[in-house]
Amino acid sequence: MNGRLTLIQSHTWIRWFFAVVSGRIWLGQACTRESLCITEAFLIRTDVGFTGRSVLQLFDGYSGGCTLSPGPGIRCEGFAASSSFLPSLSKILVEFVTINMVLMLFNLIPLAPLDGEKILDYLLPPSMQSTFESIRPYGPMILIVVAVVLPYFALTSSERSCALLNAHDEFPGRLSGEGGVSCWTVLEGDDNSPGSNRD
Amino acid sequence: MFSLDPATLIARIIVLLVAFTIHEFAHAWTATRFGMTRRA
């Protein structure tokens, strides 16, 4: 690998999907130093009208790790470990968006106890209804397997950071600093495979 | 897995309480709009 992971490259997107579905995006993310916080990066790019300030900055002054560098580009190092016991409002906002996105995707899985099952039930042609009906009782069991097994194949947090950085590489206003994209090797939580390369 | 600092943990508890409440209310609201008037 040449130090670049793209979402389209090989089957990275499948592992990305596994990560989202199994909730690893927010369980494993932890927003530690030098790991890119996906939501945080997104929110700081979201300018509020004509003010030229990001949502997070308007919220409470924002003490996270993303900085707007001069010109296009944002550098993110994640939320620093808070010295306070209580979360800041901007931190709650970041968690709010991230967790709700993950919950939405998770709920759309078409397995029995989840809401995605009702949606698929509505959309399926009548000819397939009986097949779907017959696997319904096994939904919870399949779901447990999905939740336990998929994380094993999912991206590590540092791979997610690299993939996201490189995905944004195609757009004006990259998430990285000057020149190319740099990916750090981050070891955190139970992510024990380095996974990413330094440019 | 849950190697979280207290601030993150508290933030997530607050978020989940709000999110689940609104989610379950949306189910009930939809059912009511579809004509359900008592517990199924």
On whether any CB of chain A is under 8 Å from the CB of B39, the answer is no
CA-closest candidate to residue A85, choices B9, B16, B21, B7: B7
Could you tell me if A85 and A34 are in contact, meaning their C-beta atoms sit under 8 angstroms apart? no
| Sequence-distant (≥ 6) Cβ neighbours of residue A121 within 8 angstroms | A129, A132
Gap between the Cα atoms of A106 and B3, Å rounded: 22
Residue A179 lies in a domain: no
Residue of chain A with shortest Cα separation from B27: A115
Q: Which of A22, A11, A28, A30 is nearest to A151 (CA)?
A: A22
Q: What is the mean pLDDT of residues B2-19?
A: 83
ipTM (interface predicted TM)? 0.83
Residue A187 included in any domain? no
Instruction: Using CB atoms, pick whichever of B7, B14, B19 lies closest to residue A82.
Output: B7
* pLDDT beneath 70, residues of chain A: 1-83, 151-199
Q: Give the Cα separation of A159 and A25 in Å (integer).
A: 11
Does position B5 have pLDDT exceeding 60, yes or no?
A: yes
Instruction: Quote the CA–CA distance of A177 and A72 in Å, as a whole number.
Output: 9
CB contact under 8 A, A189 and B3: yes
Is A97 an 8 Å CB contact of chain B? no
Name the residue with higher pLDDT: B38 or B40: B38
Instruction: Determine, yes or no, domain membership for A42.
Output: yes
Q: How confident is the model at residue B23 (pLDDT cuts 50, 70, 90)?
A: very high
Q: Is A183 contained in some domain?
A: no
What domain count does chain A have?
Answer: 1
Q: Does B40 touch chain A (CB under 8 A)?
A: no
The pLDDT value given to residue A128: 87
User: What confidence score (pLDDT) does residue B28 get?
Assistant: 92
Q: What is the pLDDT of residue A19?
A: 63
In a domain, A174, yes or no: no
**Res. B36: pLDDT tops 80:** yes
Cα dihedral A97→A100→A101→A104 (10° resolution): -160
User: Do A95 and A31 touch, CB atoms closer than 8 A?
Assistant: no
Q: Does residue A194 belong to any structural domain of this protein?
A: no
Give a yes or no: residue A176 inside a domain.
Answer: no
Instruction: Report the pLDDT value the prediction gives residue A105, as an integer from 0 to 100.
Output: 82
pLDDT of residue B19: 94
Give yes or no for A129 touching B (CB within 8 A). no
User: Can you give the pLDDT at residue A95?
Assistant: 78
Residue A28 lies in a domain: yes
What are the helix (H) ranges across chain A?
Answer: 12-21, 24-27, 38-45, 55-60, 89-107, 115-123, 126-135, 139-153, 157-168
Q: In terms of residue numbers, what domain contains A102? A: 12-168
Cβ <8 Å between B15 and A99:
yes
pTM of the entire predicted model = 0.60
A138 by DSSP, 3-state: which? helix
- Name the 3-class secondary structure at A191: strand
